[in-house]
């Protein structure tokens, strides 16, 4: 970790809100419709039309800002951000400039690099704006022209800008994962990067440790990253590139304007793009066609009440209530609210959090991944699996047999006891196992001597013999009994 520099990263995230209709007109926001079939005079920017704000979108935005601990403005307005681009027929985007609806806030991430394993990433502002359309360059083979699809124009977007508090490419990825999880829990966005409902730009520079103290390199904005992994890689590449550039120029670079670079996924490098406009180039001015939005204390309070328990709180509660590890709670909470509910019901039934955590992570999650389904579609109810875990807890079944019963329940829909009966598994009483162990110990003086000499593994031979004599015995019990008998000899 003895890097010769420190990395400074801030992110700008755009997420598409889960509304049925667009931000200022009634057009559908459904993904995947044929190009230009979800448009109207308002979202294609015909003259003489009047936009009207979608209240649902504003409420989802408020919900997100509240969950991020932002301060909500009681008065907020819209502004026109003017620029010319083929996918923006109005030549301006309705956005928020000097009076965004929220400021401040933070999101904590669990970062192994941070002190105490946790880093607080500050949020500068969250504002609402409309999306532009989409340019399609050569998407069909052999076609040299470019086309515009305006289905996306006017879709509500939340722009979330962080403070430059992120200290590594890995932390940038952790932040995005945590943000995505939060927005999923809030049911505010599906954050699907493939469908463009979450887009990330990153500002990054480094501070090189020199004899004269830390020297910062100019900030670079990195665009065109299409997955969380791409974000991590692009930022790692860019940090190292800036360091090499610093070594070559050797000096403080002075007032170099902010540069924009695009991530080239195929080449795994960043390349220079046009230099970034200053906000004055956008000639922002208040949107004359929309009234400002007034938010009341009651409205904010109602939103706060509706948030429900959020991922970070759930993790801590699961760890405290069920005694599971941060790793376990992380895996469980990452699967979503329904999965958390399933786990909690299961843990409640069998009374052992760790056992329930192991089973949902190993067996249940494996099946969900294999079948590409969510927990809602999982055929074994928490109650049915709970019955099985109770048998395992009471050592009526060993773990291996437990997994066989699970497989049968999955295949047949039988209850745990039904599957146990069908598989012909019978529980062997402890007295019977003990008698069997006494017999084996008496008949195998060499094994006994080996174990006494410290070769504990030798007891495995006795377990194997026991299983041959009675396949229903629990191998772990046989092992324990035999070791105890030998130690008493």
Q: Which is nearer to Zn ion, 40 or 310 (CB)?
A: 40
Distance CA 240, CA 247 (A): 11
Pick from Mn ion, Zn ion, none: which does 356 bind, CB < 5 to 8 A by kind?
Answer: none
Q: Which is nearer to Zn ion, 26 or 272 (CB)?
A: 26
Give 159 or 171: the residue with its C-beta nearer to Mn ion.
159
> Closest separation between CB of residue 156 and Mn ion, Å?
12
Among Mn ion, Zn ion, none, residue 159 binds (CB under 5-8 Å by kind): Mn ion
- The residue whose Cβ lies closest to Mn ion is 159
What residue ranges bind Mn ion (CB under 5 A)?
159
Decide: is 27 part of the binding site for Zn ion (CB under 5 A): yes
Structure tokens at 203: 């500002």
Hey, CA dihedral for 146, 151, 154, 155, is it positive or negative? negative
Q: How far is the CB of 18 from Zn ion (least distance, A)?
A: 18
CB closer to Mn ion, 31 vs 282 = 282
Tell me the two tokens of residue 106.
């933070």
Minimum CB distance to Mn ion, residue 300 (Å):
24
Cβ atoms within 10 Å, residue 378: 20
Calpha distance 237→268 (Å, rounded): 8
Q: What Å distances lie between residue 460 and 326, 435, 440, 457, 486, CA to CA? A: 34, 17, 12, 6, 13
Distance of closest approach, residue 38 Cβ to Zn ion, in angstroms: 7
- Residue 385 binding result from Mn ion, Zn ion, none, given CB thresholds of 5 to 8 Å by partner type: none
Verify binding: residue 25, Zn ion, rule CB under 5 A: yes
Burial pattern 93-106, b for ≥16 Cβ within 10 A else e, equals bbbbbebbbbbbbe
Q: Which residues pair with 119 in a beta bridge?
A: 109
Report how far residue 47's alpha carbon sits from residue 45's, in angstroms, rounded to the nearest whole number. Answer: 6
Dist. CA 141–CA 137, nearest whole Å: 10
Residue 79 near which of Mn ion, Zn ion, none (CB within 5-8 Å, type-dependent): none
The CB-of-94 to Zn ion minimum distance in angstroms stands at 13
List 14, 28, 40, 282, residue binding Zn ion (CB under 5 A): 40
SS3 264: strand
Closest listed residue to residue 126, CA positions, set 101, 150, 145, 106: 101
159 or 165: CB nearest Mn ion: 159
Q: Which of 9, 23, 43, 62 binds Zn ion (CB under 5 A)?
A: 43
Work out how close the CB of 288 gets to Zn ion at its nearest, in angstroms, rounded to a whole number: 19
Which positions touch Zn ion (CB under 5 A)?
25, 27, 40, 42-43
């Amino acid at each position: 970790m003895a890097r010769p520099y420190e990395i400074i990263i801030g992110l700008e995230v755009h997420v598409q809100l889960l509304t049925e209709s667009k931000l200022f007109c009634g057009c559908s926001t459904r993904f995947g419709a044929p190009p230009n079939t979800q448009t109207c005079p308002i979202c294609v920017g015909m003259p003489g039309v009047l936009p009207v704000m979608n209240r649902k979108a504003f409420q989802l935005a408020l919900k997100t800002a509240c969950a991020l601990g932002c301060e909500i403005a009681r008065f907020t307005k819209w502004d026109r951000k003017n620029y010319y681009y083929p996918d923006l027929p109005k030549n301006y985007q309705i956005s928020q400039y000097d009076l965004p609806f929220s400021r401040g806030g933070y999101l904590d991430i669990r970062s192994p690099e941070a002190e105490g394993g946790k880093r607080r990433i500050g949020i500068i502002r969250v504002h609402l704006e409309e999306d532009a359309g989409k340019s399609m360059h050569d998407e069909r083979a052999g076609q040299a022209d470019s086309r515009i699809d305006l289905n996306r124009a006017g879709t509500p977007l939340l722009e979330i800008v962080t403070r430059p508090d992120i200290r590594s490419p890995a932390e940038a990825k952790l932040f995005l994962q945590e943000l995505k999880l939060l927005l999923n829990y809030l049911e505010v966005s599906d954050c699907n990067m493939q469908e463009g409902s979450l887009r990330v730009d990153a500002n990054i520079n480094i501070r090189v440790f020199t004899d004269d103290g830390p020297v910062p390199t100019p900030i670079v904005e990195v665009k065109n990253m299409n997955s969380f992994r791409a974000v991590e890689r692009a930022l790692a590449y860019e940090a190292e590139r800036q360091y090499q550039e610093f070594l070559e120029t050797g000096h403080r670079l002075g007032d170099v304007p902010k540069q924009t670079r695009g991530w080239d996924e195929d080449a795994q490098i960043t390349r220079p793009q046009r230099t970034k406009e200053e906000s004055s180039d956008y000639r922002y001015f208040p949107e004359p066609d929309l009234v400002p939005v007034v938010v009341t204390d009651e409205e904010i309070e109602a939103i706060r009440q509706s948030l429900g328990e959020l991922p970070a709180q759930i993790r801590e509660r699961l760890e405290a209530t069920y005694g599971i590890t941060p790793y376990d709670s992380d895996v469980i909470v990452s699967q979503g609210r329904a999965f958390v509910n399933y786990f909690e019901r299961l843990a409640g039934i069998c009374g052992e959090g760790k056992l329930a955590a192991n089973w949902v992570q190993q067996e249940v999650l494996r099946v969900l991944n294999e079948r590409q389904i969510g927990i809602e579609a999982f055929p074994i109810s928490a109650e049915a699996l709970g019955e099985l875990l109770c048998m395992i807890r009471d050592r009526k079944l060993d773990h291996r047999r437990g997994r066989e019963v699970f497989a049968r329940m999955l295949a047949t829909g039988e209850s745990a006891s039904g599957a146990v009966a069908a598989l012909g598994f019978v529980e062997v009483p402890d007295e019977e196992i003990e008698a069997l162990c006494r017999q084996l110990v008496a008949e195998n003086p060499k094994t006994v001597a080996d174990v006494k000499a410290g070769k504990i593994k030798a007891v495995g031979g006795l377990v194997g013999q026991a299983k041959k004599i009675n396949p229903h015995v629990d191998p772990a019990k046989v092992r324990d009994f035999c070791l105890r008998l030998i130690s008493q000899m």
